[in-house]
Structure 1
Amino acid sequence: MERRKFIRNVSLGTAAAGMVGVGTNQTVQAASTKADATFNLDYAPHFGMFKNLAGDDLLDQITYMHERGFRSLEDNGMMKRTPAMQEKIGNHLAKLGMTMGVFVLDKGGNGANTLAAGKQEHVDVFLDGCKKAVEVAKRVNAKWTTVVPGNFQRNLPLDIQNANVIEALRKGAEILEPHGLTMVLEPLSDNPDLYLRYSPQTYLVCKGVNSPSCKILYDIYHQQKNEGHLITLMEMCWDEIAYIQIGDNPGRKEPGTGEINFQNVFKYIYEKGYKGVCGMEHGNFGSGKEGEEAVIQAYRKADSFL
């Protein structure tokens, strides 16, 4: 069967040749006679991660992810896609019973638009991004959007910068909260000028905002670079962590290509009762189909912690 026809049949909930089960709850499980088992945690690949195995079509890639046992997707660039494509992606995820993970809030803080500065024009840009993010989230049924507050404002005391960031994020949370959309703040390691770099610092900001729509995105790759002590600091910040991202260090590739003991980290996350998405925000160590298959097998190995 041609993949496009297969996708259409799965999306309509019909039975293709060789499928079993006709009930509503059986449709997804019966989507492919060769479907892989799911994982203990909810790992979310991104577009392009399996393009050699699945093809360039975005809906084909989602279907392939589902066939290989993944039940979520994340797409940093979702806000830059057309509304029509956003709706197609959202509908296809829904028909496969998959979850939409994070997308990056466009027009959030950056080097030229830092919330730490306390400038109204910077806050206005951020709030406009929040309003647009709500509309995107509706199309793809997303619950999380990534926010980075921008750079330090070096001519201001740090506590003043903290207050400026908290005040701006409170205003953003007021826009997002009625729609069930949560901004997840991501401390990064890319640039020493970035205001948000450490998990305890992000915990402080979230406590200051004091909203269910402002939580932590804990990126294992960035925090291994910035601070280490992954499990210890996750435990300290746990009640504010709403989303997790993955990447080994050094290299920012799949688990097993760097120094992190992902079986232990994943076991800790699982035993905490985490039911959220773990975004696979990293590149592939290998190239081509072999490299893509290696990513899947790396997750099978790291996920075998029980």
Structure 2
Amino acid sequence: MKRRQFMRNSLLTGASLAASATLLGKSDEKQETLTTAEKTFNLDYAFHDGMFKNHGGNDFIEQIKFAHSMGFRSIEDNGMMSRPAEQQKKIGETLASLGMRMGVFVITSDSWHWKMSLTTGKQEWIDKMIKDCKEAIEVAKRCGAKWMTVVPGNYDRSLSFEYQTANVINALRKASAILEPHGLVMVLEALSDNPDLFLRHSDQTYMICQAVNSPSCKFLFDMYHMQRNEGDIINNLNRSWSEIGYLQIGDNPGRKEPTTGEMNYKNIFKHIHAKGFTGILGMEHGNAKPGKEGEVALIKAYRESDSFL
């Protein structure tokens, strides 16, 4: 099938997609109505607030409705804990009514997790972690979440790497004991933003999850960060697979949608699908182009990368 025909079949679904059809320059072509099964993707991609604001408007609820009409079935929202409780509940109700899932939110409502470090072993940081875990349980109930992002923080240069690792494991065991009775999962994100961050690699994160030994402590494998830190994405997915609880997407360089950088996401997605993954893949990236045109290009990129069957 020619790419142009494939993109039209995949993107355009009835009257709700007429605006996108016009943007693509296809307003004079016949519109095709697809079934729900044909509209959805092979994997479950989760967009975030602002990604479709030019089509859905500034209201996240309206963006969710638009994205649902495009075939997306999940969201993620790093700042969910900072939203008013009533808004959290409204988002959860909207997702439930559309048959969508809530992906990750960051388990803290402020920026302490970027500055502090569980590596220190200091009680003040453990206390903050426990406090935020308890608050996160209530947030998860309102919005229907299961997964929450946790970042241990920066290196403590006064301690050996081994002592820091032991301190992180100890803190995460305490957090897991709080979350586990509620069926919630904190997912540890290894990052590439700066060299001061303690958690950076897949083998390191896998080892910590193994040591914590709880269903409430898993690995958030962000493929953008892992590409920057170590590469070899498919092999490292395989090696750490038993501890992966959540995946995130971003092409490199640029941290934009698939097809904009060096990563072969069609092959990566095919591999993840073949492994039977039924979880969420967060769209943790920006739009390569601005405006409605950029949003349409993003959807096309996901349709192209998801067409591996």
- Kindly provide the amino acid, as one letter, of the partner of residue 87 in structure 1: K
- Kindly provide the amino acid, as one letter, of the partner of residue 269 in structure 2: F
Task: Tell me what 2:245 maps to.
Answer: 242
Kept in 2: contact 1:54–1:60 (CA 8 A): yes
Task: Tell me what 1:61 maps to.
Answer: 63
Query: How far, CA to CA, are the matches of 1:233 and 1:147 in structure 2?
Result: 20
Query: How far, CA to CA, are the matches of 2:74 and 2:196 in structure 1?
Result: 32
Query: How far, CA to CA, are the matches of 1:148 and 1:245 in structure 2?
Result: 15
User: SS of the residue aligned with 1:205?
Assistant: helix
User: SS of the residue aligned with 2:180?
Assistant: helix
Task: Tell me what 1:301 maps to.
Answer: 304
Query: How far, CA to CA, are the matches of 2:63 and 2:112 in structure 1?
Result: 31
Task: Tell me what 2:73 maps to.
Answer: 71
Query: How far, CA to CA, are the matches of 2:115 and 2:54 in structure 1?
Result: 37
1:45 is aligned to 2:50: no
Query: How far, CA to CA, are the matches of 2:127 and 2:279 in structure 1?
Result: 31
Q: CA deviation at 1:296?
A: 0.2
| Structure 1 residues 157 and 220: alpha-carbon distance in aligned structure 2, compared to 1, 3 A threshold | same
Task: Tell me what 1:144 maps to.
Answer: 147
Task: Tell me what 2:216 maps to.
Answer: 213
- Kindly provide the amino acid, as one letter, of the partner of residue 46 in structure 1: H
Query: How far, CA to CA, are the matches of 2:175 and 2:132 in structure 1?
Result: 9
Query: How far, CA to CA, are the matches of 2:187 and 2:276 in structure 1?
Result: 19
The CA deviation string for residues 237-290 of structure 1, in whole angstroms up to 9 with x for no partner, is 000001000000000000000000001100010000000000000000000000
| Percent of aligned pairs with the same amino acid | 60
**Normalising by the residue count of structure 1, what TM-score does the alignment of the two structures yield?**
0.88
User: SS of the residue aligned with 2:95?
Assistant: helix
- Unpaired runs of 5+ residues, structure 2, are 1-14, 17-32
Task: Tell me what 1:269 maps to.
Answer: 272
From 82, 97, 100, the equivalent of 2:99 is 97
Kept in 2: contact 1:108–1:149 (CA 8 A): no
User: SS of the residue aligned with 2:302?
Assistant: helix
Q: CA deviation at 1:112?
A: 3.4
- Kindly provide the amino acid, as one letter, of the partner of residue 37 in structure 1: K
| Structure 1 residues 73 and 120: alpha-carbon distance in aligned structure 2, compared to 1, 3 A threshold | same
- Kindly provide the amino acid, as one letter, of the partner of residue 90 in structure 2: K
**Normalising by the residue count of structure 2, what TM-score does the alignment of the two structures yield?**
0.87
Task: Tell me what 1:123 maps to.
Answer: 126
Q: CA deviation at 1:57?
A: 1.4
Task: Tell me what 1:86 maps to.
Answer: 88
Count of residue correspondences? 276
Tell me the C-alpha RMSD between the 2 structures.
1.5
Task: Tell me what 2:202 maps to.
Answer: 199
Q: CA deviation at 1:113?
A: 1.9
- Unpaired runs of 5+ residues, structure 1, are 1-16, 19-32
| Structure 1 residues 112 and 280: alpha-carbon distance in aligned structure 2, compared to 1, 3 A threshold | closer
Task: Tell me what 1:225 maps to.
Answer: 228
Query: How far, CA to CA, are the matches of 2:132 and 2:173 in structure 1?
Result: 14
